Amino acid sequence: MDSKEDSKARKILGISAFYHDSAAAVIEGGNIIAAAQEERFTRTKHTPDFPIEAIKYCLEESGFSISELDAIVFYDKPLLKFERLLETYYGFAPKGFLSFSKSMPVWLDEKLFLKKKIYEGLAEIEDFNKKDLNLLFCPHHLSHAASAYFTSNFSESAILTIDGVGEWSTASISHGKNNEIIEKKSLNFPHSVGLLYSAFTYFLGFRVNSGEYKLMGLAPYGISDSKQTKEFELIIRESIIKIFDDGSIWLDQDYFDYATGLKMIVESKWEKLFGLKTRKPTDEIQQMHCDLALAIQRVTEDIVLKMALEAKRLTGSKNLCMAGGVALNCVANGKIVKEKIFENVYIQPAAGDAGGALGAALAIHHIFYGNSKLLSEKYDQMKGSYLGPEYSSKEIIQVCKKNKAVYSKFDDFQKLCEKIAGQIADGKVVGWFQGRMEFGPRALGNRSILGDARNPEMQKKLNLKIKYREGFRPFAPSVLEEDRTIFFDLEDVSPYMLLVAPVKESRRKDLPPNYHNMDLWERLYHPRSDVQSITHLDYSARIQTVTPDTNSNYYNLISEFKKLTGYGLLVNTSFNVRGEPIVCTPEDAYRCFMSTDMDYLVINDFVFRKEDQPDWENKSKWMLEFKED
């Protein structure tokens, strides 16, 4: 690789696909032009399919054709994955023959001949000469590391990546210096923090590779100092896992089936070990499930903290960048920040596999072509993560005509914010659709559903009547950046909703002596703070800080709400219903609005009131069927 800087502003397409959360990203000269997940266009959540629609969008946004691209890069190395698969089956033989026989045809057809699959996918977008394409492959954990380091505002940094598994690595510690990423240490399959967490996701009745955030959301319902929680944590540490001082782990494979089988765990052994049955998705959630969720969350936090300390020891850096699916564990991230291991922590907002598409493109630009890292004076390179499509008034009007929608159009956006802030203060729920769609799993104020955090009924209303999902699911606050310390014990900013911090003591309400003996749902709805609907049972909250520099429309709305109420924060949840990807288009937004009990919909400067819409009480007319997440 030539270390001399390449002066050409190369056009690079990054792709992630064929596992889950397929995505595409386009950069030019290291600048991110566009990035989006395929699920937003096809409406199939976590789709593994080749991201044809996402690529189309990225090319359209950039103005590039496939033939004009200097490189196309895939986010991992399939031959190394195939090697891992074969060696794993060989190492566990004769166990796992059924899994082996099922996976081999898929690998031989789709993954071993990945170049062919990529060419076929690209050919559905436009004609090109295959010989003109420069198709490259980037190691999985390097894609994750690059997605965080090269978008950060650090000239050097420790880099920690943690996920299920890439080719062989399940976690890595690297050191980024200008345009280099030097790996210092890695943890290899089958020992994996991500797979451990997914195993508990499965055991507690949630879907692997999509329900891990539910497990994290369930943990605060566990009783911290209860005998059951402590026993569960002890069982995990003594029977399933060994944790070493550097954060590396060893998992007893007698309890797991993911290496060679068709399930995450050996259910009979887990049920005997923990004294409870594998929970089915339809089973009632009981206190023992909450306590087990808290136990594995604590173990995960311990591992991640140890890895962060090891990253500090190996690099000596004052900065930390994080990526990989486990970097979406906001509670663990919050612990790293609280411990002040590093002066500065940056977490890639699209930390999972979708972000690998962007990371692969950036790795090629900076490492392969030798270009210096880009730095800005104040912010990172993610542009607030608003990297998806936006829609014009003409396109919105077309949706209105098609659906005979009734709307008001505001020439003065500040007046619009005043009106909507007033409606939220009156207890109304608002679908808020603005500008470019977010890249990553979080809605950050452009594809959001908003409510009043003060309203003690808001969590129940949003879960049951808007999102159609489990009642325990917590909600996050969006707070004016300058007001964050008024509500939360949070010194750092959290623009991407990736840090959990405690609600201020001064905002909390006293709990009755018998609180921990109450029924789970009684505890959930018992007043805990003056911002009840975003306060978890352990007095924590997953926080997004909002600035006018990255999202002026959203900032103005929250500011207007503050003028009315004195509270510079709102409940913010993603604009979708259970099992549905976050909405992408105005059509998606209007349909979702009409199929729920949302009161208002705002698309750019168009405002829709539910009661004004034709046949507005007939929600079933608008409902679509989505697989449960």
pLDDT digits (tens, 9 = 90+) for 496-535: 999 999 999 999 998 888 888 888 888 888 899 999 999 9
Instruction: Determine how β-strand 169-177 pairs with β-strand 156-162.
Output: antiparallel
Q: What percent of the chain has pLDDT over 70?
A: 93
Strand extents, DSSP E, 2-124 = 11-16, 23-28, 31-37, 71-74
Considering 106-115, 373-382, 610-619, the range whose residues carry the highest mean pLDDT is 610-619
Q: Is the pLDDT of residue 409 over 90?
A: yes
Q: Is the pLDDT of residue 110 over 70?
A: no
Whole-angstrom CA distances from 374 to 158, 179, 402, 486 are 17, 9, 45, 34
Strand extents, DSSP E, 11-134 = 11-16, 23-28, 31-37, 71-74
Whole-angstrom CA distances from 274 to 29, 277, 303, 415 are 53, 8, 21, 57
Mean pLDDT throughout 163-178?
A: 91
Which domains, and CATH codes, for the chain? 11-151+351-381 (3.30.420.40), 193-339 (3.30.420.40), 393-621 (3.90.870.20)
User: Across the chain, what does the average pLDDT equal?
Assistant: 92
Q: Is the pLDDT of residue 130 over 50?
A: yes
Write down the pLDDT at residue 101. 57
Interatomic CA distance for residues 25 and 33, integer angstroms: 8
424 vs 78, residue with greater confidence: 424
This prediction's pTM: 0.93
Q: Is the pLDDT of residue 301 over 80?
A: yes
Mean pLDDT throughout 33-43?
A: 98
Nearest residue to 37 via CA among 546, 624, 591, 447: 447
Write down the pLDDT at residue 216. 94
Q: Is the pLDDT of residue 262 over 80?
A: no
How would DSSP label each residue in 422-464?
HHHHTT--EEEE-SSPBSSS---SSEEEEE-TT-TTHHHHIII
Write down the pLDDT at residue 464. 87
Write down the pLDDT at residue 2. 40
Interatomic CA distance for residues 480 and 569, integer angstroms: 6
444 vs 189, residue with greater confidence: 444
Mean pLDDT throughout 318-330?
A: 96
**225 exposure class (CB count in 10 Å sphere: 0-12, 13-18, 19+):** exposed
pLDDT tens digits for range 57-103: 999 999 999 999 999 999 997 756 555 565 554 455 555 555 555 65
pLDDT tens digits for range 358-367: 999 999 999 9
Q: Which amino acid is at 359?
A: G
Mean pLDDT throughout 172-188?
A: 97
Strand extents, DSSP E, 261-371 = 319-323, 344-347
pLDDT tens digits for range 205-233: 999 988 999 999 999 999 999 999 999 99
Residue 132 pLDDT class (50, 70, 90 cuts): confident
Interatomic CA distance for residues 584 and 592, integer angstroms: 11
How would DSSP label each residue in 459-500?
HHHIIIIIS---TT---EEEEEGGGHHHHBS--S--TTS-EE
Interatomic CA distance for residues 572 and 390, integer angstroms: 20
pLDDT tens digits for range 451-484: 999 999 999 899 888 888 888 888 999 999 999 9
